[in-house]
Structures are given as structure tokens and as C-alpha cells.
Amino acid sequence: MRVCILGGGLSSLTLAKALVNQKIYVDVKVSANSFQSGKSRTIGISKNNLEFFNKYILNIDKITWKLKQIHIFSDNLKKEKLLNFENGKNQLFSILKNYSLYSILEKSLKKNKYFKKIILKRRKNDFESYDIVIVTDYFSLIAKKYFNKKIIKKYNSFAYTTIIEHKNISNDIATQIFTKDGPLAFLPISNNKTSIVYSINNSNIISSERIKDLIQNYNLKYKIKKIGKIESFELKSFNLRSYYNNKFLAFGDLLHKIHPLAGQGFNMTIRDIKIFLDLVKNRVNLGLPIDSSINSEFENKTKHINFIFANGVDLIHEFFNLERKIKNDNISKSIQFLGKNPSINKVFTTLADKGILI
């Protein structure tokens, strides 16, 4: 059996590594210089997903920075904490740089006999020799042909990312602030560096100097030495209406995209990989072929979960967006009250960790 993965981003390489570990031949087809993520971009991986990643894909502990708590604040409650997520003294979440994960995956795959990377030299390509073609590149002709029907939401916002260098401290607590301009996250990546993701409710690009001023304004604990280059991207969320078309299966950012406020985008993809891998293993154990029929099974098992989870993240955004518009702190106070209940706090933590309440 041979699988083709169309696209060369993090989702593609992560899925490719999971499949070659099962001794499945994988060809990843990419356009030249397809990975364009800047060096200020980071991703968060939940504890449950990191354990799965380390066991079934690749051990990445050496490039992750583990967080023990996540503190949530709101402008409306000033400096009073809105929510606090923790798991005793244990790891709660991990942060790592996009390009670091990409590099370690690429290095590992190059050594694997089941893997081949093919640079596309023309837009059209032959997929007849593959049992399944998994598409992650939404700029490809296949994506435009089969996967253009989406439920899309535009936020009329931009996300700004950078990395700050600061005085060395014990840096294992992430902070999310729901500011009057939008959610701002301080995500530690070492004892002297912290990643910033600021999603600002403005349809126009804001100057780097203004973003730096806002970061300084909301910074409560870091003695900043340097603020790195500011990068930006437009915010929107979407879910595909159909996950597959015959042998072609959408995956990764082509399949779903959510608001970055909860840091759950890549976690959704890892959970999809878990399910896809289970389907593959079950077929291998039963001596059944791994063909295009697996695509419909994958859709049946994931579509409703992804839709509910994505809309849950969007609901959080809309809650705080409404509070910002009406200039009322009742929503924040209600969430703060609920968060003090240990059972409810545990529900929130489980959802962030596993994506489901089990």
C-alpha cells in the first residue's frame, strides 16, 4: 500500500511520520519552499496529545517547554484572575516553536525507507498509483476542485505573533488576557523567552510599534530586554462540509481552522491523526486492505466532534467579544464564579486536554 500526502506543512509531516511508523509507504508531494511559517510562530500541545505524539509519532520532549498552569484574565476584572487551570504540580500544556517541530520531523523522515519527498514541478500530477491521497495544501488544484465548500467565519481581525526576550525567571505559567482589543496570550518557551499571540479586533493591519506598546502595557511580570519581529495573519475559522471525495481525503488546516485564542488548532489535527491511525491499525489487524473506504469511516468518526469543538472555541470568542461591545463585566464574573467550582474547572481542563469529556 502507498499513500500520497499533498502538502508539506506540519500536519503533513506529522501524519506521514505516524504512517511510516506503521510500515506504510508514504510519498509527500510539495511545491518548492512550501513551509513558510515564521520563526515567531509557536504551537501548543496538550498533555494527552503530547503523550500520544511521543509514543506513536516521535519523541519531541527535548524541543517542548512544559507549562504547569494557565492563568486567564479579563480587562473588565482588572488584575483579578478570571480562571486558573492546573493539574497539581504536573504538566498541563507544552509550547514549542513551529520550525523546531518541522525540522525534527523532516530530519527523522529523511532516514526512513518508507518515506519519499517529491517536489512538484507542474501543477497537474498523477495520483493513479496511490490507494489514498491525503490533501493538506489548500492552494492545490485538488483542494480547489474537491474541497471548496466550507462553513466559513471571518473575524475581521488579525493575529500578531512575536517572541520577547526577558530577564531569566521561573517561567512555567501561561497567561491569557481578554483585552478590550482582543485576546492576548503570553506563552513561555524558556526561562528567558516567551511567545506572544495577540488577536486584535481590527480589520486593518496595526503597526508593529503599536503592537509592541500594547504588549508592554499588558505585561505584568516580565522585564523585557527585546521584542522580536512582529508577524501577522488574518483570522478566520472554517469547517469543510465534506471530508472526502473518493480516494481524496482532506486533512489538517484544509479540514478545519479555528480561532487561536485557545491554542487548540494543532491539537485538533493530532486528535484526527489518532483516529485515522486507529482505523489503519484495525484494518491491518483484520487483514483488510487500506483503501478509499477508510475515508468515509474517518469522516463518520470525526466530523461531529470537530464541529462541536470548533464551535465551542468560537463561542468563547463570542462571549468575550459581546462583553467588550456592551462594556459589561457580568459575563466575566459569571465565568469566574463557575471556575471556582472544582468540578467545573476539571471539565474545562479535560476539554482543553482531550477535546472530549472522558
Cα–Cα distance for residue pair 176/196, rounded to 1 Å: 10
**Is 160:206 a contact under the CB 8 Å cutoff?**
yes
DSSP sequence for 137-183: -TTSHHHHHH---EEEEEEEEEEEEEEEEE------EEEEEEETTEE
The pLDDT value recorded for residue 37 is 58
**Is 106:115 a contact under the CB 8 Å cutoff?**
no
The pLDDT value recorded for residue 357 is 45
Cα–Cα distance for residue pair 63/74, rounded to 1 Å: 31
Cα–Cα distance for residue pair 272/10, rounded to 1 Å: 14
Cell of 349: 481542563
The pLDDT value recorded for residue 355 is 72
Cα–Cα distance for residue pair 283/181, rounded to 1 Å: 49
Q: Which domains does the chain have, with CATH numbers?
A: 2-354 (3.50.50.60)
Cα–Cα distance for residue pair 48/353, rounded to 1 Å: 6
- Kindly tell me the burial class for residue 187, based on how many C-beta atoms sit within 10 Å of its own C-beta (0-12, 13-18, 19 or more): buried
The pLDDT value recorded for residue 358 is 45
**Is 40:229 a contact under the CB 8 Å cutoff?**
yes
The model's pTM is 0.91
Q: How do the pLDDT tens digits run along the chain, 358 residues long?
A: 789 999 999 999 999 999 999 999 999 999 865 655 566 789 999 999 999 999 999 999 999 999 999 998 888 776 678 788 887 677 889 999 999 999 999 999 999 999 999 988 765 567 888 999 999 998 888 999 999 999 999 999 999 999 999 999 999 999 999 898 999 999 999 999 999 999 998 888 999 999 999 999 999 899 999 999 999 999 999 999 999 999 999 999 999 999 998 789 999 999 999 999 999 999 989 988 888 999 999 999 999 999 999 988 888 888 777 776 776 666 667 767 666 777 766 766 776 777 764 4
The pLDDT value recorded for residue 263 is 85
Cα–Cα distance for residue pair 301/246, rounded to 1 Å: 17
Grid cell 525567571 — which residue? 169
Query: How far lies 103's CA from each of 29, 106, 108, 133, 139, in Å?
Result: 17, 5, 9, 24, 22
